[in-house]
Structure 1
Amino acid sequence: MKKKRIINFGEILLRLSPPNYSNLSKTNFFHAYYGGAEANVAASLSIFGHESIFVSAVPLNELGEGALGELRFHGVNPVVKREGNRLGVYYFQEGASEKPGKVVYDRESSSFSKLSRGTIDWQLIFKDADWFHWSGITPSLSQDLADLCEEALVAASNLGLTISVDLNYRPTLWNYGKNPVEVMPDLVKYSDLVLGGMDDSLICMGIDVTQTDTMEVVFDKWMKKYPKIKRIVSTQRYDANASSNMIGAVLWDGYTFLQSKKYKVSHIVDRIGAGDAFMAGIIHGLINWPNDNQKALDFALAASCLKHSIPGDFNLSTAQEVEALMNGASGGRVIR
């Protein structure tokens, strides 16, 4: 396996979920986990065997210590500012069958939200690094964080790092007076690998889509507008409800439109973090099989498939477990 030094930038959050599919408004108990999109990617990459660095900010209190401890437990090296008074929180009401899941964010005035341009030494952090991963969640939180994200991207680009982004459009987070299309294009232009879907085209990329446009046509438009992009990947869900999904994925490299195999994921334990598991999987796959996009795509989807069976935000599957599923070891049999 090829091992790389990968920098991940974002906010780690405390997640609180009512047990037994209870409603948030009716519960007296919560299961607690630590997670968040970029932290989930960082943890998975570390479990896959990479040197995974997570750049963030947490408060100097027990919750901050808990978040850092969780990252370190999974082999992630946190490089964080210890400032501010609170860790961001999100509440997740699990869905079941036709009842949808629901997320309520409580991250205003968190330690991470106080970061701004000039508060992080990117030259030092990117020293000897190979890859930088960010997501559209960070610039959705404030103009200061969007500016800081741009600062990081300029530094990473100047140093020649490979850059990946999960567009991660969350409409409830864009509350500071800017729309994604006013912010994201100036950030996405630095990226080599993009995870997103057709719905993101106008909202995040500033590119209109007609009713007759195929996914291949839309992604080709993205590459023409943003020439640094080398690959675009997208996950897909079919015949989906909250308990059972058919999942697949596609990859476009400007020449060939690839489709993954599909998995029927029934009895979903926890779908939060499945997209992040895919993101970590495609990064790992492209590092290890840079000339085999199909294998990288299949690895990423297998990683996402396994995450659906794991409670909490993090995908705890090893690269060997993902490859086993990718190579046909399915069926959930007991390994003895």
Structure 2
Amino acid sequence: MQHSGSGKILCFGELLLHFAPDSNGNWMNNQLVKIFVGGAEYNVATALAHWKNPVKFLSALPENFLGIQLESQLKNKGIEVLAEKSKGRIGTFYLSSDGDMQNTSVIYDRFPSVFTQSDFDAFNLDDVFSEVKWMHISTITSALSEKAYIKCLDLMKEAASRNIQVSLDLNYRAALWQDKNPSDKIKHMMPLVNVLMGNIWSVQQFLNIPVEYELNGNSDDENLLKQAEKSASEIQKMYPNVETIANTFRFTSGEAVNYFATLYTDEKLLISQQYHSDKIEERVGSGDAFMAALIHGTLKGNPTEQILEDATKVAFKKLFIKGDTINDTIKIEKL
């Protein structure tokens, strides 16, 4: 799993504004709504930059004051910005901090946006991949438009031709895949993936690898681990290029949460420590924090067990930070 050497991490995805009204509706009387900058790949890029990794972010921004401010925000975080600029608007979504991206409580307003309408031709591939050693994308980006999907595929092919590691997050958002068959598209991407993150249910949704074990819905169900190992083994049989497969498990009951993760590599399933809290503050971005820590630890050449434990701790800690991204309180070298 070690990938040494200097170089940058390229993240490709849409930059979003996250409007977070309180779920009780008090924001209307107070005339105050919290707004966060977000987006799956941006969240990963931000965490990696916090931990002093050199990061490039390839995206699209509007030609207006908002685009200028967002670009400045990224640069202030130490992120190199490659943004195709055009007239139009930034994508947005609405979700309270006690809402969940996985269900209907999220409202998307990102069609059209400068990203979904972009051709992504402003930069040539040599500029995009200059000094890059790792590329990360999510299945959210490939769901946004045919142009975005084709760009994902082209970038992944180019990365593979340059011997650059590719990671893919199997994020499934039903609201984005309406009337589309996600498995057809994602299966074309899989032969180009080296590191895969998701869970047994997203693997079933995207790769048609079924959840065969009967599950009781609890975090202590041993069948979860059996299914995680079986799904990962099936993935590697179908796509031997996938070296590492991570599964995250978050079980919520009211405000309480149980969280753990698994990592499958070298035909062995590793299981993290399980974490519990009676209350969490934020449901957005923990998976992105896990992905960032997985990339960081791999590039540092850390032992596999440490990579898994660090990523799980980071993801759990993110549940107590408002907004989409981690902040300086999560220091990966001092967990």
Give the structure 1 partner of residue 273 of structure 2. Answer: 261
Q: Which fold has the larger relative contact order, with Cα–Cα distance below 8 Å and residues 6 or more apart in sequence?
A: 2
1:26 to partner: Cα distance: 5.9
| Aligned 8 A contact 1:265 1:305 in 2 | no
| Aligned 8 A contact 1:22 1:94 in 2 | no
1:316 to partner: Cα distance: 1.2
Amino acid at match of 1:278: F
The one of 236, 240, 261 aligned to 1:223: 236
Distance 1:242 1:173 in 2: 26
Give the structure 2 partner of residue 324 of structure 1. Answer: 334
**Share of identical aligned residues, percent?**
28
Give the structure 2 partner of residue 128 of structure 1. Answer: 131
Distance 2:37 2:254 in 1: 22
* CA distances 1:257-299 after superposition (whole Å, capped 9, x unpaired): 1011122234322221111000000100111135x11100111
Distance 2:93 2:59 in 1: 17
Correspondences of 1:1-336 after superposition (within 5 Å): 4-19=7-22, 21-23=23-25, 28-95=31-98, 102-116=105-119, 118-175=121-178, 177-211=179-213, 214-238=227-251, 240-241=252-253, 243-290=255-302, 292-317=303-328, 321-325=331-335
Distance 1:179 1:26 in 2: 38
Distance 2:319 2:301 in 1: 25
| Aligned 8 A contact 2:228 2:247 in 1 | no
The SS at the match of 2:136 is: strand
1:210 to partner: Cα distance: 2.5
Amino acid at match of 2:279: H
1:140 to partner: Cα distance: 0.6
1:166 to partner: Cα distance: 0.5
| Aligned 8 A contact 1:3 1:50 in 2 | no
The SS at the match of 1:199 is: helix
State the TM-score, normalized to the length of structure 2.
0.88
The SS at the match of 1:80 is: strand
The SS at the match of 1:53 is: strand
Distance 2:183 2:80 in 1: 33
Amino acid at match of 1:105: Y
Give the structure 1 partner of residue 220 of structure 2. Answer: none
Distance 1:302 1:113 in 2: 34
Amino acid at match of 1:173: L
- Listed as ranges, the gaps of 5+ residues in structure 1 are 326-336
Cα distance change, pair 226–85 in 1 and its aligned pair in 2 (3 A): same
| Aligned 8 A contact 1:88 1:108 in 2 | yes
Cα distance change, pair 322–241 in 1 and its aligned pair in 2 (3 A): farther
Give the number of aligned pairs.
318
Distance 2:266 2:25 in 1: 45
Task: Name which of structure 1's ranges 41-50 and 137-146 shifts more when overlaid on structure 2.
Answer: 137-146
Distance 2:265 2:297 in 1: 15
Cα distance change, pair 307–263 in 1 and its aligned pair in 2 (3 A): same
| Aligned 8 A contact 2:7 2:131 in 1 | no
Give the structure 1 partner of residue 218 of structure 2. Answer: none
Cα distance change, pair 61–193 in 1 and its aligned pair in 2 (3 A): same
Distance 2:124 2:256 in 1: 44
Distance 2:106 2:50 in 1: 26
1:318 to partner: Cα distance: 6.2
* CA distances 1:87-114 after superposition (whole Å, capped 9, x unpaired): 0001112328xxx882111000100001
- Listed as ranges, the gaps of 5+ residues in structure 2 are 215-225
Distance 1:134 1:70 in 2: 21
Distance 1:13 1:26 in 2: 22
| Aligned 8 A contact 2:97 2:281 in 1 | no
| Aligned 8 A contact 1:84 1:114 in 2 | no
1:145 to partner: Cα distance: 1.1
Cα distance change, pair 31–181 in 1 and its aligned pair in 2 (3 A): same
